């Protein structure tokens, strides 16, 4: 089910509940009645076309309108990515940590498994937080500057356009994804079951949800933001005869 601007947002959630966190990232609270996407986006001053495309990306893994998404401004794209960062740091990752802390094994020896999972996830969290901080400190400000320079047709020197920065940025997502896969394999293949199996299942469920969310996040960065910024760089070089 792909949505459009005339779809009732309540129908979207009833059909695809997994899109709720994404809707909340846009600052849209529940209680929107029978309003459609366009009406709600107008109410909260959100670009309805961008909102629709992002929701569709998250509810249908086979849907990714790369060319259309690149038509939106860098500012619009980064604003959503930053909201996702806050969600990962403030809600998703702490919630998984809390669930891991609740895991229990009956024997003292098996209880060491909790420390193993906690330490592994802590290392993963630190890598993610470091990666998000790098994006927020280096990549996003650079991308916004490039867009501003193009809009204002500011004269630049060649060294102000960092081709190396964007190329190196493309290579950084794989390590993070692999570490989460390792954690899933450890829990599913090698550890004895926890005595509170329901909590263990919730941990795995939330890890799978986080992985899928981060994969979509990375797709937007790799297939939308990076190509768009590279296109802007080319335009700036042409304008400045570089």
Q: What percent of the chain has pLDDT over 90?
A: 58
Residue 169 confidence class, pLDDT cut points 50, 70, 90: confident
Domain boundaries, the chain: 9-63, 72-239
Taking residues 132-136, report their average pLDDT. Answer: 94
Looking at residue 210, what is its pLDDT? 92
What single string gives the DSSP state of each residue in the chain?
----TTSBHHHHHHH-GGGHHHHHHTT--S--TT-BHHHHHHHTT--HHHHHHHHHHHH-TT---HHHHTTS-HHHHHHHHHHHHHHIIIIIHHHHHHHHHH---SSTTTTHHHHHHHHHHHHHHHHHHHHHHHIIIIIHHHHHHHHHHHHHT----GGGS-HHHHHHHTTSHHHHHHHHHHHHHIIIIISPPPSSHHHHHHHHHHHHHHHHHHHHHHHHIIIIIHHHHHHHHHHHHHHTT-
With a cut of 80, say whether residue 156 has pLDDT above it: no
Taking residues 37-56, report their average pLDDT. Answer: 95
Higher pLDDT among residues 223 and 165, named by residue: 223
Looking at residue 190, what is its pLDDT? 84
Tens digits of per-residue pLDDT, 65-107?
A: 999 999 999 999 999 999 999 999 999 999 999 999 999 888 8
Looking at residue 50, what is its pLDDT? 96
């Amino acid at each position: 089910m792909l949505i459009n601007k005339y779809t009732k947002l309540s129908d979207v959630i009833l059909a695809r509940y997994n899109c709720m966190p994404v809707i909340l990232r846009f600052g849209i609270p529940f209680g929107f009645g029978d309003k459609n996407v366009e009406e709600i986006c107008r109410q909260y001053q959100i670009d309805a076309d961008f909102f629709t495309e992002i929701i569709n990306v998250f509810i249908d893994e086979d849907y990714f309108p790369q060319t259309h998404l690149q038509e939106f401004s860098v500012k619009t794209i980064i604003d959503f990515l930053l909201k996702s960062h806050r969600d990962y740091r403030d809600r998703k990752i702490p919630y998984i940590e809390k669930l891991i802390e609740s895991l229990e094994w009956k024997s003292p020896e098996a209880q060491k498994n909790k420390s193993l999972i906690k330490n592994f996830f802590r290392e993963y969290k630190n890598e993610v937080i470091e990666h998000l901080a790098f994006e927020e400190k280096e990549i996003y400000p650079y991308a916004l500057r490039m867009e501003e320079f193009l809009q204002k047709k500011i004269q630049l020197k060649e060294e102000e356009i960092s081709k190396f920065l964007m190329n190196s940025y493309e290579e950084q997502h794989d390590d993070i994804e692999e570490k989460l896969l390792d954690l899933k394999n450890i829990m599913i293949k090698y550890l004895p079951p926890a005595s509170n199996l329901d909590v263990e299942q919730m941990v795995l469920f939330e890890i799978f949800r986080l992985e899928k969310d981060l994969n979509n996040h990375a797709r937007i960065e790799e297939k939308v933001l990076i190509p768009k910024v590279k296109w802007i760089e080319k335009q700036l070089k042409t304008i400045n005869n570089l």
